[in-house]
């Protein structure tokens, strides 16, 4: 079939179709130029669309380019996991000793393949963290609709830059009704992908899967064309970095997506100085994409 490419859509951070966060994955995409990739990503209108290429870096199993509807990202979490699932399922790469290596604009990303548990994990890349000033923190708090003194926001750069803060509780996180225009303006001014907030759930909080996730997370990225990212791997990486900086190194499970009906579960583990973020994946669509 000329002018078509293999295509999958994968739900990430869920073991059930139609929950979690979908990513569109275009395989064998070496013949596409940047403008074509951006046009396809705008058409899918998902938070991210990825393009799998032949690797050029030694040790990489495949290369990946990642696009939101209006920009390219150097790295993103749920697209990394969904693309790895597509690469494995299509036979374009095989795990070696339970490991895969992805090449992307952020460098080489190591992944762990937990075949027994049906999950994939990525290692959080090297990050840069800087605290925001009081005025910027107050502006974000107002845009989120928070009352009282603003929380301490940090700009956490893991490829995407998330303005990240801990709130008082999971109910506060789920109750946010952000001013998206204000968040977009702040994100653009600060050169950030968006805003991620998190907080511990009250003991015994039950999610829609009859489980009890440890924390609640939400990520807002209107400046990247994604008002609310259903379940965000890079945002959760930033949360994990903040929690580790506060001395919290126990493994935990985060809930994200409840506020928009896309409940997902993110597993986070600390292995020495390495942070792993992962979860289940489900291939929901498989076929061919017409590209011309």
- What 8-state DSSP symbol labels residue 150? P
The two structure tokens encoding residue 113 = 């393949």
- What 8-state DSSP symbol labels residue 201? P
Contact 29, 52 (CB under 8 A): yes
Residues forming beta bridges with residue 285, ordered by sequence position:
9
Contact 276, 31 (CB under 8 A): no
User: How would you label 197-207 residue by residue, b for 16+ Cβ within 10 Å and e otherwise?
Assistant: bbbbbeeebeb
3-state secondary structure of 174: helix
- CB neighbours of 94 closer than 8 A, spacing ≥ 6? 61, 88
Among residues 48, 228, 258, 276, which one is catalytic? 48
H or E element in which residue 166 lies:
strand 161-166
Spatial separation of the C-alpha atoms in residues 225 and 183, rounded to whole Å:
12
Residue with tokens 């289940």: 280
123 is catalytic: no
How many degrees, rounded to 5, is the angle at CA 26 between CA 120 and CA 61? 50
What residues act catalytically?
A: 48
């Amino acid at each position: 079939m000329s002018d078509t490419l293999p295509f999958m859509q994968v739900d990430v951070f869920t073991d059930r179709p139609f929950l979690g966060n979908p990513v569109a994955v275009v395989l064998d995409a070496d013949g596409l130029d940047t403008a074509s990739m951006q046009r396809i990503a705008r058409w899918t209108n998902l938070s991210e669309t990825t393009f799998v290429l032949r690797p050029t870096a030694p040790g990489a199993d495949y290369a990946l380019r990642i696009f939101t509807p209006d920009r390219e990202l150097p790295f993103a979490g749920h697209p990394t996991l969904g693309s790895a699932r597509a690469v494995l399922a299509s036979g374009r790469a095989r795990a070696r000793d339970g490991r895969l290596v992805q090449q992307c604009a952020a460098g080489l990303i190591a992944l762990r393949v937990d075949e027994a548990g049906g999950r994939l994990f990525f290692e959080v890349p090297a990050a840069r963290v800087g605290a925001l000033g009081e005025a910027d923190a107050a502006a974000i708090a107002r845009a989120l609709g928070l009352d009282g003194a603003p929380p301490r926001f940090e700009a956490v750069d893991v490829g995407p830059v998330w303005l990240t803060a801990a709130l008082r509780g999971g109910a506060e996180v789920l109750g946010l009704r952000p001013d998206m225009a204000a968040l977009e303006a702040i994100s653009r001014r600060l050169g950030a992908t968006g805003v991620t907030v998190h907080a511990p759930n009250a003991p015994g909080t039950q999610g829609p899967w009859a489980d009890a996730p440890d924390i609640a997370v939400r990520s807002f990225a209107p400046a990247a064309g994604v008002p609310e990212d259903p379940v965000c791997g890079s945002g959760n990486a930033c949360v994990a970095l903040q929690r580790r900086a506060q001395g919290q190194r126990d493994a935990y499970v985060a809930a994200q997506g409840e506020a928009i009906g896309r409940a997902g579960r993110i597993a986070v583990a600390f292995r020495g100085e390495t942070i792993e973020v992962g979860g289940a994946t489900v291939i929901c669509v498989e076929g061919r994409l017409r590209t011309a």
